[in-house]
Structure 1
Amino acid sequence: MLKHSYRCPLRWSDMDAFGHVNNVAYFRYLEESRVDLVFRLAPQHEGQELSRGSVVSRQEIRYLRPMEYREAPVVVETWVVDIKAAALTFASVIRDSDEVYAHGSTVLTPYDLQTGRPRRITPKEREFFEFYLEKPGLAEAKD
């Protein structure tokens, strides 16, 4: 399993009145990492259909600690935890070298923009995202 690692810059506008990164910005950080994976990397490996149309059908974040605004970027690691016929579930962690700030989960549904309906994942897309798939039991086998 590969984890996609994305260095995400913080913006001054991400900060709230208390000098912390606003909770909504965390969702943008997850989005930026996912977009880098789906729109930049997948098309390079013939998995380009998803970049032509997809929608977020569910997203959750578990906030672990406040992040103070600073110039240094955070790292967003993203990987796939489930591939269904018409949905991909991504897990993410927002961190830097010292702290983990949040864990996230996003369900992305392939979407046909012309028909306005969900569609199935293509074999090429499945092949690409399987490189990022955390296979069940893998962590236990390493212990």
Structure 2
Amino acid sequence: MSRHFYSCPLRWSDMDAFGHVNNAVFISYLEEARIDFMFRLAPGDGSPSFSGGSVVARHEIDYKRPLVHRHEPVTIESWVTKINAASLTIAYEIKDEGQVYVRASTVVVPYDLAAGRPRRITEEERMYLLKYLDDDATGTNKSAEDAEDKDALAA
């Protein structure tokens, strides 16, 4: 399985009164990474894939550590955990240098803007997404994640 890597700069305005990146800002970070990932297939080679539109059906976010402003960007890794006929699930980790700040997932539904309704994933899109499909299709390594959570709580 491949992962998509997106380098996301932090802005001073992303911080809240407590001195760390506001929880709502992480949704924007995920959006930037998701758009970069999904539109890699479409515009450059003339393919209409994903360019017709998509909607977010669901977000899940686990905040692991506070992220404070700095000049270096964070890395957002994205991969696919599920492909259905008319939706897909993208998983993410926002991290740097071994620190995971956020683990998240988004259910995305391809959307036909002209018809005003959801549409099925095309074969071309499916082939692209399969390159990023998680090998065990669970999205994360639960034992490693659980151990990290215990370490973070103990600190």
> What is residue 17 of structure 2 aligned with on the other side?
17
Give how far 1:2 is off. 0.5
TM-score (norm 1): 0.90
Q: Which has the higher contact order (CA 8 A, sep 6+)?
A: 1
State the alpha-carbon separation in 1 of the partners of residues 83 and 102 from structure 2. Answer: 23
> What is residue 78 of structure 2 aligned with on the other side?
78
* Structure 2 residue 90 is matched with structure 1 residue 90: yes
Q: Give the fraction of aligned pairs with identical amino acids, expressed as a percent.
A: 51
Count of residues paired in the alignment: 139
Give how far 1:12 is off. 1.1
TM-score (norm 2): 0.84
- CA contact under 8 A between 1:48 and 1:125: conserved in structure 2? no
Q: Which runs of 4+ in 1 moved over 6 A?
A: 137-140
* Structure 2 residue 56 is matched with structure 1 residue 42: no
Q: CA RMSD in A?
A: 2.0
* Structure 2 residue 60 is matched with structure 1 residue 68: no
- CA contact under 8 A between 1:47 and 1:128: conserved in structure 2? no
3-state SS of the aligned residue for 1:18? coil
Give how far 1:60 is off. 1.0
Residue-by-residue CA offset, 1:56-87 (whole Å, 9 max, x unaligned): 00011000011111111000000000000000
C-alpha change, 1:46 and 1:89, in structure 2 (3 Å) is farther
- CA contact under 8 A between 1:65 and 1:100: conserved in structure 2? yes
Q: How is 1:48-63 mapped onto 2 (pairs within 5 angstroms)?
A: 48-63=48-63
> What is residue 144 of structure 2 aligned with on the other side?
none
- CA contact under 8 A between 2:81 and 2:137: conserved in structure 1? no
